[in-house]
Amino acid sequence: MQVAEGLKFLHHHMIVYRDLKPSNILIFSLSLANLINAKISDYGIARYSTRCGLTATEGTPGYRAPEIARGDIAYNMEVDMYSFAMFLYELVTGGTKPFEDLRFRHELDAAVLKGRALDPITSSDCPPWPDMADLIAHALEPQPHRRATAEQVNERDYSYCLFFWKNCCVAPSCTTRKFCVCISAFFCI
């Protein structure tokens, strides 16, 4: 959960990232001990936040939270957790983008504002993964104060890693093995 650890660090220091999406995550390895390191990049629109929050309409449509898309209320760190859930969805579905059928900014924002549900992760040939589906749903809560926090995600029981390895990563195909190594670096200790 290196991305969640990064968000926890930022949020501890009152930084709202505001643009979490797969293309802003760098994957690399400098050591044989760690196969993959994930780092959050592109802090161009990240801002220090006070308790009053921020109001600028920033972020990437399709990944940004409803309170940002509305543009009329103050928001805080909870917007990053909404984006984190969208990122997780794309990761566990093997690259299926949230609202993949929509193309334009206003369509993506409208889907988020209307609370359009994401397709189940199983619709992308991912085996059932109840803990991950629950984590995504918890971080996509329409009410910001009800969303999972980065700290809660980091403290969460990682038993779903064992479930994932048992049900998905025993497959012999090369593509599946590469995907499993990548995804385990994000989620498993």
Structural domain spans, the chain:
2-187
Residue 12's CB is within 10 A of a number of other CB atoms, namely 11
- Per-residue pLDDT of 35-91, as tens digits, reads 778 899 999 999 999 888 999 999 999 999 999 999 888 999 999 999 999 999 999
The C-alpha atoms of residue 153 and residue 8 are separated, in whole angstroms, by 9
Give catalytic residue positions: 19
Residue 23's CB is within 10 A of a number of other CB atoms, namely 10
Q: Answer for the pair 109, 40: CB distance below 8 angstroms, yes or no.
A: no
pTM, to two decimals: 0.82
- Per-residue pLDDT of 20-40, as tens digits, reads 999 999 988 877 776 778 899
* CATH fold of the domain at 2-187: Transferase(Phosphotransferase); domain 1 (1.10.510)
Give the residues across from 47 on adjacent strands: 16
- pLDDT (mean) for 130-155: 93
In degrees rounded to 5, what are phi and psi of residue 130? -55, -40
The C-alpha atoms of residue 19 and residue 23 are separated, in whole angstroms, by 10
- Per-residue pLDDT of 83-139, as tens digits, reads 999 999 999 998 999 999 999 999 999 999 999 999 998 888 888 888 899 999 999
